[in-house]
Amino acid sequence: VHEVEHPASFARSLFIEALRAAGVKVTASPLVENPASKLPRYETYATMQPTAELMSPPFAESAKLILKVSHNLHAGTLPLLVAAKQGKRTLAEGLQLQRDFLARAGVDVPTISFGGGAGGDRADYVTPRATVQLLKAMSKRSDFAVYRGALPVLGVDGTLAAAVVADSPAKGQVQAKTGTLVWNNTLLGKSLLQSKALAGYVDAADGRTVVFACFVNLVALQQSSDRDRIGRVLGSIAEKLHAAP
């Protein structure tokens, strides 16, 4: 895995190489930065004749990737996709549109702070109560089954595959999203767990569906295995929610 410093130039190089591999003669060098100044103005694209179109998988597949394995890159692009859908172009505009959605969903927006889309920005904060409000609002949507189906399943897949023992009675009965943010304490050569969270839905043993959110914040980790241990503690809380009358 490698982070590309200049994505536009990298994509340009790959495109030139792909065209050449397909037998298309391209005189441009793939070794220079993307000459953005030579591109047409953005607002003229709609009037041009397309030569090819890339069709992405359904958005449900992207949501599954984000939620099942905590794919931060796709999560971070979501506010930009929301902005683009509405003819806008910036992260700030996308986050403001998300704010409007959260308000319409009945979430206590003043208790939330987002600086990005993946939860790793220094400005990213949310309360368990606001998280539960969002989960409850999502459960009332017509596409809820797709949303819930994209979440990790306790003891089965994604980031919850190993959160409980194999014979746990709650296995397969909890669908929830994990969240982990760790900073390096370089002074002591250890790690600071900024946050470890679990939030989602429990099919309780008595037939109810329980919505829950549990956060663990600001824990000085003594060894690397502590993070996984805290994850298992959150898994055990989900087990108890499943079993509780």
- For the chain, where are the E strands, in sequence order? 174-185, 190-203, 209-221
pLDDT tens per residue, range 159-175: 999 999 999 999 999 99
**Beta partners for residue 204, in sequence order:** none
Query: Tokens 């999203």 — which residue?
Result: 177
Q: Is the pLDDT of residue 18 over 80?
A: yes
CA 90 from chain centre, in angstroms, equals 18
137 torsion bin: left (phi>0), alpha (psi -120 to 50), beta (else): alpha
pLDDT at 51: 86
By C-alpha distance, which of 183, 212, 213 is closest to 197?
213
Q: Give the tens place of pLDDT for each residue, 115-174.
A: 999 999 999 999 999 999 999 999 999 999 999 999 999 999 999 999 999 999 999 999
CB neighbour burial string for 142-173, b if at least 16 within 10 angstroms, e if fewer: eeeeebbebbbbbbeebbbeebbeeebebbeb
- Going by pLDDT thresholds of 50, 70 and 90, the confidence category of residue 53 is confident
Q: Closest Cα to residue 239, out of 167, 146, 179?
A: 167
User: Which residues 6+ apart lie within 8 Å of 102 measured at CB?
Assistant: 109, 112, 134
Higher pLDDT, 72 or 2: 72
Q: What's this model's pTM, rounded to 2 decimal places?
A: 0.85
